[in-house]
């Protein structure tokens, strides 16, 4: 029961917090109510306090007038007595208090008058009506009056035994006589004055509450007048961002909100015009690329046939012609690869690329890629080291596209490995599979991690065009990873080499949250002196693309961003990846040979 109540309380608090964060109207009305409540409450307190003081002052003035008259009258009546033991003194006391009390000793709840001779214990005191005033008459007040001072106090008591306590304003004054000083006390009930103060207090509180409610309603109305157009603008902006470029706001009136709506509509019109123009230019560009690529196929096929014939007979030519035939054959291969890549890019741009996902064991796919690039690795003098699990690694992927991604990554690492080993590692966990390709070449300069996936970008523009590919391989790989809903990421540091990581969901359509392998290698420097970033693309079931991750700070450790977008940094001294690949690994190393890049 206690846990259920706690859960309900937490859910209610979370709901209130969510409403507070999401609703501007709720925040404005709440702040207005709180501020106005504090202001009106403070004002009401001051008003009630002043009213109470005024009522009490009126009561004091009334009692002081009575006390002054009563003192004169009592002194006059007692002036005939010279000693406290005279006969008739008691009768004089009683007649005096009865007169001062109004002559009606049977009245209840009225003014009580008492004469006491505190300095003469043998003299009896007199009270009108006959009640016991000692229960509410404090010793402090008695002592002050005995000392010849006029004093007052407010006390509460039940003088008439009615069962209800009454608040009394008590005034005491010394009365000089020929035989000595006696004390005159007035007990004035404050019931009527309390009723006046209570009525005033209720009126002020009711007025204040009504004012706070009115201010809250006014704040809600004014906020609604302002928030509604903003909400309409937000919904219209969402529709515009969703591709509904014909959405516009309704313009009512000529005030500031109407000006905002008109400006928003003008902005939407300009954006629509620019987007339509850019879409048309993009469509023409894609069509031009596709048409040119297709049109070049026919003459390229003819030239290829002639070049293959010349290349086959090159041994019978002069050395210069033989070299020319070899160059022609090599450049035609590069030209054919370029056309193939351009056609593939045009299919991605047109949105015609389709994913043929099927359960695939990635171990033979990775082995097949390294086997095919082994000859290139030997020519470049770069050993290839493959680390794969002994157990199958099954994932729902398009094997043709995955193989193309790995071929581009491994081939790029071999070409930039400067003769140092290149490691290819395959790992998997319950939700994802990953492949890392690590080289120990010159690495990447600050900011180049974001540029390696751009089309036709080259790390060294001055590098001879005889080496390297078409400049579209990593761009196509990025699009293939995007099509799978996966991540393709890059890390690099000058002199420390580079590492690329491909992460794919085990089941097609799942959204990635982490990777089985680390992006920053374990042998990277403890403090990375360059800033690095990743182009991490994640497409969820709804087809929405995730935001690319922002750059890490220069002090980020080598383990940063291993667990998806929510993990930014990790300890730099961590030696093992967060998830080990399934099963033991088998290292494979190829030979090397001396070839100039």
Contacts of 333 by beta carbon, 8 Å cutoff, 6+ apart: none
Question: What pLDDT shows up at residue 577?
Answer: 35
User: Two tokens at 80?
Assistant: 């005939």
User: Two tokens at 68?
Assistant: 């002054």
User: Two tokens at 345?
Assistant: 């890019």
3-state SS assignment for residue 434:
strand
Q: How far apart are alpha carbons 343 and 292 in whole angstroms?
A: 9
Domains parsed from the chain with CATH numbers: 1-242 (3.30.450.20), 256-350 (1.10.287.130), 358-589 (3.30.565.10)
User: Two tokens at 333?
Assistant: 């291969």
DSSP 9-63: HHHHHHHHHHHHHH-HHHHHHHHHHHHHHHHHHHHHHHHHHHHHHHHHHHHHHHH
- Which residue's structure tokens are 């002994």? 390
Q: What angle (nearest 5°) sits at the alpha carbon of residue 241, between those of residues 238 and 246?
A: 90
Question: What pLDDT shows up at residue 71?
Answer: 85
Element (H, E) at 502: strand 497-505
- As a residue count, the chain comes to 597
Global confidence as pTM: 0.45
Question: What pLDDT shows up at residue 363?
Answer: 92
3-state SS assignment for residue 360:
strand
Helix count and strand count (H, E) for the chain:
11, 13
Q: Note down pLDDT in tens along the chain; length 597 residues.
A: 556 667 677 777 777 778 777 777 788 888 888 888 888 888 888 888 888 888 888 888 888 888 888 888 888 888 888 787 787 888 888 888 888 887 544 444 478 888 888 777 777 778 878 887 877 888 888 888 888 888 888 888 877 777 778 888 888 989 888 888 888 888 888 888 888 888 888 888 888 889 888 888 888 888 887 778 888 888 888 888 787 878 888 888 777 778 888 888 888 888 888 888 887 887 777 677 667 767 777 787 888 888 888 888 888 888 888 888 888 888 887 777 777 777 777 777 666 677 888 999 999 999 999 988 888 888 888 888 999 998 999 999 888 889 889 988 998 888 888 888 899 999 998 889 999 999 988 888 877 777 788 777 766 554 444 445 567 778 888 888 888 889 898 888 888 888 999 999 988 888 888 889 988 888 776 534 333 333 433 333 333 333 333 333 333 333 333 444 333 333 333 333 333 333 333 333 333 333 222
């Amino acid at each position: 029961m206690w846990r259920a109540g706690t859960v309900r309380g937490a859910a209610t608090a979370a709901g209130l917090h969510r409403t507070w964060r999401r609703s501007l109207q709720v925040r404005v009305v709440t702040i207005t109510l709180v501020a106005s409540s504090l202001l009106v409450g403070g004002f009401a307190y001051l008003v009630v306090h002043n009213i109470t003081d005024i009522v009490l002052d009126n009561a004091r003035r009334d009692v002081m007038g009575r006390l002054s008259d009563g003192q004169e009258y009592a002194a006059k009546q007692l002036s005939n007595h010279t000693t406290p033991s005279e006969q008739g003194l008691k009768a004089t006391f009683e007649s005096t208090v009865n007169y001062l009390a109004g002559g009606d000793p049977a009245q209840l709840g009225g003014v009580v008058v008492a004469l006491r001779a505190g300095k003469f214990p043998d003299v009896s005191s007199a009270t009108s009506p006959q009640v016991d005033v000692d229960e509410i008459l404090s010793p402090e007040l008695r002592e002050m009056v005995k000392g010849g001072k006029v004093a007052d106090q407010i006390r509460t008591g039940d003088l008439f035994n009615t069962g209800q306590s009454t608040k009394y304003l008590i005034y005491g004054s010394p009365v000089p006589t020929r035989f000595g000083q006696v004390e005159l006390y007035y007990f004035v009930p404050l019931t009527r004055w309390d009723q006046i103060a209570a009525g005033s207090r209720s009126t002020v509180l009711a007025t204040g509450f009504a004012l706070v409610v009115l201010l809250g309603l006014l704040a809600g109305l004014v906020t609604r007048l302002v928030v509604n157009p903003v909400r309409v603008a937000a919904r219209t902006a969402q529709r515009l961002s969703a591709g509904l470029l014909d959405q516009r706001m309704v313009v009512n009136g000529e005030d500031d909100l109407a000006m905002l709506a008109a400006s928003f509509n003008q902005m939407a019109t300009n954006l629509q015009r620019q987007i339509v123009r850019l879409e048309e230019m993009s469509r023409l560009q894609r069509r031009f690329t596709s048409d040119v690529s297709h049109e070049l196929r026919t003459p390229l096929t003819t030239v290829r046939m002639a070049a293959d014939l010349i290349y086959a007979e090159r041994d019978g030519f002069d050395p210069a012609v033989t070299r020319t035939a070899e160059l022609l054959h090599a450049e035609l291969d590069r030209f054919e690869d370029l056309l193939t890549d351009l056609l593939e890019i045009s299919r991605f741009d047109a949105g015609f690329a389709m994913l043929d996902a099927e359960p695939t064991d990635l171990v033979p796919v990775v082995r097949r890629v390294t086997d095919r690039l082994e000859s290139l690795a030997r020519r470049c003098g770069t050993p290839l080291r493959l680390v794969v699990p002994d157990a199958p690694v099954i994932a729902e992927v398009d094997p043709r596209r995955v193989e193309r991604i790995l071929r581009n990554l491994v081939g790029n690492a071999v070409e930039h490995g400067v003769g140092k080993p290149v490691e290819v590692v395959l790992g998997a966990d319950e939700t994802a599979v990953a492949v890392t390709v690590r080289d120990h070449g010159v690495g990447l300069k600050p900011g180049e991690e974001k540029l390696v996936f751009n089309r036709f970008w080259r790390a060294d523009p001055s590098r001879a065009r005889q080496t390297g590919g078409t400049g579209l391989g990593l761009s196509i790989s990025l699009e293939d990873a995007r099509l799978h809903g996966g991540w393709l990421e890059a890390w690099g540091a000058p002199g420390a080499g580079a590492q690329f990581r491909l992460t794919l969901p085990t089941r097609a359509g799942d959204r990635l949250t982490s990777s089985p392998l680390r992006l920053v290698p374990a042998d990277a420097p403890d403090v990375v002196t360059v800033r690095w970033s990743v182009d991490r693309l994640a497409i969820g079931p709804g087809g929405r693309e995730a935001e690319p991750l922002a750059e890490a700070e220069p002090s980020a450790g080598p383990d940063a961003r291993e667990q998806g977008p929510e993990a930014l940094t990790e300890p730099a001294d961590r030696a093992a990846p967060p998830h080990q690949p399934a099963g033991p690994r088998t290292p494979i190393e190829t030979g090397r040979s001396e070839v100039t890049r």
